[in-house]
Amino acid sequence: MPDLSLHSSLGKPFIELQSVDSTNNYALTLVHAGLAQPGTAVFAHAQTAGKGQRGRSWYSEPGSSLSLSLILDPRPLDPTQQFGLSACMAVSACDFLNNYTNGGAKIKWPNDLYWQDRKAGGILIESVIGSGQSLSGNDTGAEWKWAVAGIGLNINQPMFGNSLLNPVSLTQITGRRFQPVELAHQLIPIIESNYVKLKDEGFDELFENLNARLYKLDQPARLKKGNIQFEGIIRGVTRAGRLLVEHGTLEEYSVGEISFVFG
């Protein structure tokens, strides 16, 4: 088991906001203002413009969602290992949900949390990359200075509007209501354990755990590339974060190249 005492503890300080446009935005503002501390957690009871992948936004009513961003110093990882951090957050969030869903939560490539065929949450990581320098002052290339890892989970929504395709909340799954801030405090240690493993032991275990929890693994799925829909069997994710799909031959797809089709 990694020695957590060798790393700054995640979730300290814990900033609790009643409302914010986006916890990721708030965290990035701290980073760019030079006020960030590694391990800082930003939690909001409500978001007015939460951020998702590829510019998507979403709104969360007070007390309905777990909206959390962690400010991380990812070194000694480098920018080529960003998928490792994404996998760390996805596995952690999936395992957290499975504490309440009897193992029903899965990771839908590339960054969503699913229960059965419904979306329970998502992850967005935003990085600050700069130039590194050696002690002699020579440029050592790109350096991964900061990462802001955001997690949004649907918690207490009894229902959703028709504008969302296939959402689900923890309340709908379990029939219970929760205190999202308490759930955030439960999630952070799970993330910390996996994050320390990633930095100390490498990507191997997280990579295996990601594939073991993959949505539709070894099952047929309806997919779309451009305007063309096709069916393929999901065979896993590569170490570079590309989706492996078998349809006649085994092919790899990068993020944004294909999407899942529902309904």
Average confidence (pLDDT) over 165-184: 96
Instruction: Point out the least confidently predicted range of 40-44, 56-60, 150-154, 184-188.
Output: 56-60
Q: Is the pLDDT of residue 123 over 50?
A: yes
Given a cut of 80, is residue 138 above it in pLDDT? no
> Residue 85's pLDDT is what?
97
12 and 37: one domain? yes
Residue 11, pLDDT > 80, answer yes
Domain finish residue from 194, 212, 230: 212
Domain CATH number, residue 231: 2.30.30
Q: How far apart are the first and last CA of the chain?
A: 43
Count CB atoms within 10 A of the CB of residue 197.
19
How many domains, the chain?
2
139 has pLDDT over 70? no
Q: pLDDT category, 58, cuts 50, 70, 90?
A: low
pLDDT over 60 (residue 43): yes
- pLDDT, average across residues 103-122: 96
**129 and 225 belong to one structural domain:** no
Together in a domain, 127 and 155: yes
Both 111 and 174 in a single domain?
Answer: yes
| Element at 89 (helix H, strand E) | helix 82-101
- Model pTM score: 0.90
- Residue 177: how many other CB atoms lie within 10 Å: 12
Model confidence band, residue 8 (pLDDT cutoffs 50, 70, 90)? low
**Residues 183 and 93 reside in one and the same domain:** yes
Where helices occur in 163-250 by DSSP H, the ranges are: 170-174, 180-201, 204-212
Question: At what angle are helices 82-101 and 180-201 packed, to 10 degrees?
Answer: 140
Contact 189, 157 (CB under 8 A): no
Does residue 26 contact residue 17 with C-beta atoms inside 8 Å? yes
Q: What is the mean pLDDT of residues 125-147?
A: 74
Same domain, 76 and 176: yes
Residues 129 and 256 in one domain: no
The residues near 6 (Cβ < 8 Å, ≥ 6 apart) are 196, 200
The parent domain of residue 52 ranges over 4-212
Judge if 244 and 162 occupy the same domain.
no
Same domain for 240 and 194: no
Assign 3-class secondary structure to 110-143: CCEEEECCEEEEEEEEEEEEEEEECCCCCEEEEE
Contact 16, 59 (CB under 8 A): no
pLDDT digits (tens, 9 = 90+) for 199-211: 999 999 999 999 9
Residues 18 and 124 in one domain: yes
Paired tokens of 101: 């869903």
* Whether 130 and 195 share a structural domain: yes
197 and 253 part of one domain: no
- Per-residue confidence band for 4, with pLDDT thresholds at 50, 70 and 90: very low
Report the amino acid identity of residue 239: R
Give the chain's mean pLDDT. Answer: 90
Tell me which H or E stretch contains 87: helix 82-101
Rounded mean pLDDT, 57-68 = 81
116: domain CATH number is 3.30.930.10
